[in-house]
């Protein structure tokens, strides 16, 4: 798998025509504790290795922590953007490999239900991202919150992170059911986190995929899996992403492999990206 990732990275780094519109990918999970933010941060690092410009929007507006995962401290957050005090350029942090981070407001519960007049200001600022990045990755909150569902509906693609635990799969199915009902056309890509073996990953995917086909009349794209790796916990404690502190770890090699598939989606998407205007117009209608 590591060799495959190296080959994919080499192919992606060669000069290829890039889509003209920014692609929006929302990363979500049915419950907290699935490793969603850790996955998002390291996916961004791996995509940057492919030469992609990446910005992460910390969409977990109640418990924002993307900046902490990078070992950074945000002076300004999306709350300052909402109030009109700062612009998108003023709150944007720069992380390793040139990754941009739009910080959420940690613990600011009032952002969970954005008022329409405040949303318009956010939209005006986010509109400038089109020239700044190839991929906008939204790290959503976990679960079925109103804001989470809106982000997922407005995105070009959704990556769902789950684990083999029965409770995690139950929650993932609940989220998939809601998405199927409210955003049936959004492509959903599944990542199984913290697996011991490839066999466990495939068995977990099969259980969830069978339920989705049988009861929701839908389908899932299996994006890959990430091995259960003690180095992940160590990197989190060090506030130094896995792709920086332990780039040769088993877990990060998995994420590099997955990023190759994401690059394929970005370069040859099954569904045309709507760009930032498409994303923001859908988001405004939803709110």
What confidence tens digit (pLDDT) does each residue in 236-277 have?
999 999 999 999 999 999 999 999 999 887 666 556 567 766
- Written as six digits, the tokens of 25 are 């990918």
| Bridge partners, residue 59, by sequence | 140
| Closest to 59 measured CA to CA, from 140, 153, 156 | 140
Give the domains, in start order, of the chain with CATH numbers: 22-286 (3.40.50.300)
Which helix (DSSP H) or strand (DSSP E) does residue 255 occupy? helix 250-267
Which of 25-39, 127-141, 195-209, 259-273 is the least confident region?
Answer: 259-273
SS3 149: helix
The answer to whether the predicted template modeling score (pTM) of the entire model surpasses 0.75 is yes
- Residue 89: count other Cβ atoms within 10 Å of its Cβ: 9
Cα–Cα–Cα angle for 192, 194, 198, nearest 5°?
Answer: 65
Q: Quick one: DSSP state of residue 94?
A: E
Residue 15, pLDDT score: 44
Phi, psi of 272 (to 5 degrees): -65, 135
Residue 204, pLDDT score: 96
Q: Which residues contact 66 (CB under 8 A, 6 or more apart)?
A: 37, 40, 41, 56, 58, 60, 101, 103, 104, 139
Which of 143-147, 153-157, 195-199 is the least confident region?
Answer: 143-147
Phi, psi of 199 (to 5 degrees): -60, -40
């Amino acid at each position: 798998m590591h060799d495959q990732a190296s080959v994919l990275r080499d192919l992606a780094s060669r000069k290829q025509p890039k889509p003209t519109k920014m692609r929006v990918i929302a990363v979500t999970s049915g419950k907290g504790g699935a490793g969603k933010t850790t996955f998002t941060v390291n996916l961004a690092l791996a995509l940057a290795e492919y030469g992609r410009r990446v910005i992460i929007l910390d969409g977990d507006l109640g418990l924002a922590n993307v900046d902490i995962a990078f070992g950074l401290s945000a002076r300004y957050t999306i709350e300052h953007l909402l109030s009109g005090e700062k612009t998108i350029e003023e709150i944007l942090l720069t992380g390793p490999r040139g990754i941009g981070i739009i910080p959420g407001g940690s613990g600011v519960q009032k952002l969970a239900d954005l008022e329409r007049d405040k949303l318009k200001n956010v939209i005006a600022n986010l509109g400038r991202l089109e020239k700044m990045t190839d991929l906008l990755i939204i790290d959503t909150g976990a679960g079925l919150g109103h804001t989470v569902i809106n982000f997922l509906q407005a995105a070009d693609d959704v990556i769902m992170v789950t684990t083999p635990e029965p409770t995690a799969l139950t929650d993932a199915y609940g989220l998939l059911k809601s998405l199927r009902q409210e955003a049936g056309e959004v492509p959903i890509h599944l990542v199984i986190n913290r697996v011991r073996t490839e066999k466990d990953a495939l068995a977990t995917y099969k259980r969830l995929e069978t339920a989705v086909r049988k009861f929701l009349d839908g389908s899932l794209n299996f994006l890959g899996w990430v091995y259960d790796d003690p180095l992940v916990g160590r990197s989190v404690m060090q506030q130094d992403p896995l792709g920086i502190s332990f780039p040769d770890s088993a877990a990060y090699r998995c994420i590099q492999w997955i990023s190759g598939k994401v690059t394929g989606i970005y370069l040859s998407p099954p569904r045309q990206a709507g760009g930032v205007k498409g994303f923001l117009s859908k988001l405004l209608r939803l709110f």
